[in-house]
Amino acid sequence: PRSAPPSAPPTPLVPALFVIGDSTSDVGTNNYLGTLARADREPYGRDFDTHRPTGRFSNGRIPVDYLAEKLGLPFVPPYLEQSMRMGVGSVGLINIGGMIQGVNYASAAAGILSSSGSELGMHVSLTQQVQQVEDTYEQLALALGEAATVDLFKRSVFFVSIGSNDFIHYYLRNVSGVQMHYLPWEFNQLLVNAVRQEIKNLYNINVRKVVLMGLPPVGCAPHFLSDYGSQNGECIDYINNVVIEFNYGLRYMSSEFIRQYPDSMISYCDTFEGSVDILENRDRYGFLTTTDACCGLGKYGGLFICVLPQMACSDASSHVWWDEFHPTDAVNRILAENVWSGEHTRMCYPVNLQEMVKLKQ
């Protein structure tokens, strides 16, 4: 028998990858919304596979692209693109092909709390994204039958990356005087409980494999270095300490959840740990700067958002940060390799994605 042509895609390791999150994972949701939080113009995407802006907040790929590749899946399309194609009211055997290997619900500026990020315009908050997953479940159940859909969801990976905007666009801006009502640790508790509730909602529709991303060192982002007047590029400890505390709560919650529901696996992946490893060992990874955005204006490029190709540096791969908030493709790749196998530094507990995929139901 003839062997398969070399271009044949690998057999996927899981049926599908579903993505919930904010601009760390948005692949074009916000292109369909009235919002300032959009990455559908140059120079975004200039180093992406297609060399065009797609709605990804980076110069190239984001972590979920690299993870889809590791899993043997195509890049996951945005949910809103699927629904736009389907048109309203055409439920039933609608474009199942576009959803069967996964859907991306992530929306830039989205938070765990629905009001986070709303000053930028429209976005799809965590609760709304989970409702869209529930809608997808129903649509697939209509098309494939309940049993096949249960099996699909049980074996698929759900990637969740959200929470930064609850600090960036809500707590740190002291929206509605939130800091008077909640100390940082109380606010963290509120957020973590909300995430737990949504993971339970997903569990109720047979989601069993979750990669839960912790928050990055937000206090090292060029925006805050500029905003808080960092002298020599030192990260803003006040912000990072709040984030570390949130991450601790997230990790504890996820380990408690799998104790309570032993048939589920939530792997908490410490983006903070993985990022600090890059910031502290920039030479090993080949980065020339860990403080300056490739695309931006002002000190650290953190004063103004990246809007024109002329604002961008020539070689993004020498930078950790692409714009005032988002990392470059080079960093996204390292983080994804850590989520997959801990290639550079261990990030995921209790198991990395490669191990999770091998777990028996």
Q: Which residues are catalytic?
A: 23, 323, 326
Say whether 310 sits in a helix, a strand or coil.
helix
Handedness of CA 341, 346, 348, 349 (dihedral sign): positive
| String of DSSP letters for 124-178 | --HHHHHHHHHHHHHHHHHHH-HHHHHHHHHHSEEEEE--HHHIIIIITTTGGGH
Q: Return d(Cα 100, Cα 89) in angstroms, integer.
A: 20
Element housing 181 (H / E): helix 178-181
Distance of CA 325 to CAs 102, 219, 232, Å?
27, 10, 18
Residue 201's H or E segment, with its range, is helix 184-204
* Closest C-alpha among 340, 343, 335, 337 to residue 352: 340
8 A C-beta contact, residue 242 and residue 171: yes
Q: List C-alpha distances in Å: 272 to 240, 269, 275.
A: 9, 9, 5
d(CA 340, CA 334): 10
CB atoms within 10 A of CB 67: 24
Q: How far apart are the C-alpha atoms of 135 and 127, rounded to whole Å? A: 12
Instruction: Report CA Rg, the chain.
Output: 20
Q: Which residues contact 66 (CB under 8 A, 6 or more apart)?
A: 332, 333, 336, 337, 340
> Which residue has 């300056």 as its token pair?
292
